Amino acid sequence: MTVKTIKTTPYSDQKPGTSGLRKRVSVFRQPNYVENFIQSIFDSLEGVEGRTLVIGGDGRFYNDVAIQKAIRIAAANGFGRALVGRGGLLSTPAASHLIRHNRALGGLVLSASHNPGGPEGDFGIKYNVGNGGPAPEKITEAVFARSQAIDSYKTLDTPDIDLHSLGAQQVGAMVVEVVDPVADYAALMQTLFDFDAIRGLFASGFRMTFDAMHAVTGPYAHAIFEDLLGAPRGTVVNGVPSPTFNDGHPDPNLVYCKEMHDLLMTPEGPDFGAASDGDGDRNLIIGRNRFVTPSDSLAILAANAHLAPGYKDGIAGIARSMPTSAAADRVAEKLGVELHETPTGWKFFGNLLDAGRVTICGEESAGTGSNHVREKDGLWAVLLWLNILAVRRQGVDEIVRDHWRTYGRNYYTRHDYEEVETEVANRLVEDLRARLPALPGSVFEDDMQVAYADDFAYHDPVDGSSSARQGIRIGFVDGSRIVLRLSGTGTVGATLRLYLERYEAADGRHDLDTQLALGSLVEIAETLAGIRARTGRDAPSVIT
Ligand code: G16
């Protein structure tokens, strides 16, 4: 089969963000846009000849088209084998596992995560390396540099492959294996968790609702919760993946899962509610009368992980992204294990996990995971919660309160201002940055005194690399924090994220309303950054 070399010209906007390249579908549909980016990835890798590539996505609109292009370009570039999820589906954590399990060179994960889908929605392409994790910055920078100089890509003149039949098909010299997206992942979960104990929990009448949000986790959740763990049919709702997510927004937060949240707050509601996002790496955890913030969930999972077989010997350490609350730090201290604070982006956990320095990682953005893969993993978090509930035989609320009694409570919220004019957002951040050196020592309302003010810089202790300007931190003497940064995943204008945190000691008040508890910090943030004044908004677009 003759490899075709097609002439092309660069697009200036192919710079990967927090998690790969995410844009409107209309951007990806421009001539050669997908081809340029995938060829730029392959040009930035060494030794693709004969190697295995994993390809899968969250099933969103354009997934099928992009997969066929990716397969032809991979074959033309010399890959020996491509593993593709049936129907083009692979959750992000399942793709990570397949890469590791098959010693693949890497994988293409096609997803825009929790962003809406459909022709007017978003699409994304991310490259994961051989450890199963998102490519580190040195690779994403090389890909961007290559995309700015690209003048041709390689492809083949072959028909589309049948994505729905399991088994091997030939594309040029490359073998394409269409695999069951669930099987290997479900097998991995059974090595980590006590499925008998969880089966017993469901058999005792424990009721759960899992919202797959018409996204990729539907088939995984039906197979694991209902088929393997014996939860009654109907436990999983919205379990059939749809290219438009049924016109929904597959973001498992209190805005888009409000109905489930409200149900959990009633006496008739189930014992446990959970959800996952478009590509299956995020999670939402709600117990009866208790929403668990992602930061608290990370701390509680880390403190109780030893109750699950996969972590029975304890954990090596915990890593959290900088804006995530410090609740996990207290657990690490008590366990006597390492705690690492990294920039936002799962890719920063990879080296720490590979080096065995940490076992559990988490982010405020609803992501938790462990060293079993190199991505955050929504179903893993739900299963670890179920395993803990099965062993402790307590409700979620009881476990959360018990945790606060032991470690204290980190009140925490995030205020997002979406689709802000990019220039306004950039100027706001720059102006605040300029004020940082003068802030330490300043006293604001309620006697809040600034202890430090900086722009977070990370020095990776494993490979020595540095990443500067990762978010503004203003810390107060009582341990409270204001963090401000620009999102790296939005696709329209800029998204400003304001993170607020206040610590209340173990013997302190744990029953305050979160927004009220953080009210004075919100006002201090407004005094310092003027978000409402400068953007003209009177409230955040989303509060989580
Ligand atoms: C991605 C990254 C996460 C990050 C999140 C939000 O998640 O993998 O590490 O925390 O985006 O990033 P930002 O605050 O820059 O928008 P996902 O689930 O969208 O792939």
Query: Ligand 1: which of 320, 346, 349, 373 to mutate, judged by most atoms within 8 Å of the beta carbon?
Result: 346
Ligand 1 centre from 436 Cα, in Å? 26
Ligand 1 atom nearest 115 alpha carbon: 19
Closest atom, ligand 1, to C-alpha of 281: 18
Does residue 539 sit in the same domain as residue 505? yes
The amino acid sitting at 274 is: A
Domain closes at, from 124, 155, 181: 181
Q: List the beta strands (DSSP E) in 295-408.
A: 317-321, 338-342, 360-363, 367-370
Residues 168 and 40 reside in one and the same domain: yes
Q: What share of the chain is helix, strand, coil (3-state, %, to 5)?
A: 35, 25, 40
Q: pLDDT tens across 53-102, in order?
A: 999 999 999 999 999 999 999 999 999 999 999 999 999 999 999 999 99
pLDDT at 542: 87
Whether 467 and 372 share a structural domain: no
Identify the weakest region by mean pLDDT among 106-110, 261-265, 303-307, 477-481.
Answer: 477-481
Quote the domain boundaries for residue 10: 4-181
Q: pLDDT digit string (tens) for 162-207?
A: 999 999 999 999 999 999 999 999 999 999 999 999 999 999 999 9
Q: Strand pairing partners for 47?
A: none
DSSP string, 232-288: PTTSEES-S--TTGGG-----STTTTHHHHHHHTSTTS-SEEEEE-TTS-BEEEEET
- Residues of the chain with pLDDT > 90, as a percent, come to 93
Q: Is residue 116 located within the same domain as residue 223?
A: no
Regarding whether 73 and 42 lie in a shared domain, the answer is: yes
Could you report how far apart the first and last alpha carbons of the chain are, in Å? 53
Backbone angles phi, psi at 338, to 5 degrees: -70, 150
CA distances from 169 to 161, 173, 482 (A): 7, 10, 54
Which residue type, as a one-letter code, is found at position 148?
Q
Q: Which 3 state secondary structure label does DSSP give 28?
A: helix
Confidence of residue 6 (pLDDT cuts 50, 70, 90): very high
CATH of the domain at 32: 3.40.120.10
339 and 420, same structural domain?
no
The whole-number pLDDT of residue 17 equals: 84
Specify the pLDDT at position 372: 98
- The residues near 402 (Cβ < 8 Å, ≥ 6 apart) are 394
With bands split at pLDDT 50, 70 and 90, how would you rate the model's confidence at 544? confident
pLDDT per residue over 391-420, tens digit each?
Answer: 999 999 999 999 999 999 999 999 999 999
Joined together, the tokens standing for residue 132 give 């199963």
Number of domains in the chain: 3
Catalytic residue among 19, 40, 113, 325: 113
Instruction: Quick: pLDDT tens for 151-162.
Output: 999 999 999 999
The domain boundary residue, chosen from 160, 181, 202 = 181
Give the pTM.
0.95
Q: Are residues 304 and 208 in the same domain?
A: yes
Q: Tell whether the model's pLDDT for residue 1 goes beyond 80.
A: no
Averaged pLDDT, 212-230 = 98
Instruction: Identify whether residues 133 and 192 lie together within a single domain.
Output: no
Q: Span 523-535, mean pLDDT? A: 91
Q: What is the pLDDT of residues 468-526, one digit of tens each?
A: 999 999 999 988 999 999 998 877 889 999 999 999 988 889 999 999 999 999 999 99
- Of 118, 151, 181, the position where a domain reaches its end is 181
Active site residue 113: yes
Residues in the chain: 544
Amino acid at position 341, single letter: E
Look at ligand 1, atom 9, and give the residue with the nearest C-alpha: 345
* 324 and 402 both lie in a single domain: yes
Ligand 1: centre distance to CA 4 (Å): 36
**Which ligand 1 atom is the nearest neighbour of the CA of 134?**
8
Q: Could you read off the pLDDT of 279-333 as tens digits, one per residue?
A: 999 999 999 999 999 999 999 999 999 999 999 999 999 999 999 999 999 999 9
Say how many Å lie between the CA of residue 176 and the centre of ligand 1: 30
Does residue 85 have its Cβ closer than 6 Å to ligand 1?
no
Q: Are residues 14 and 102 in the same domain?
A: yes
| Residue 114 Cβ < 6 Å to ligand 1 | yes
How do 81-89 and 52-57 pair as beta strands?
Answer: parallel
Q: How far is the CA of 383 from the centre of ligand 1 (A)?
A: 22
Distance 344 CA to ligand 1 centre (A): 7
pLDDT digits (tens, 9 = 90+) for 455-468: 999 999 999 999 99
Residues 61 and 193 in one domain: no
Please write the tens of the pLDDT for every residue from 323-355: 999 999 999 999 999 999 999 999 999 999 999
**CATH number, residue 500:** 3.30.310.50
246 pLDDT more than 80? yes
Residues 372 and 287 in one domain: yes
Q: Examine the pLDDT at 382 and tell me if it is beyond 80.
A: yes
Percent of the chain residues past pLDDT 70, beyond the cut? 100
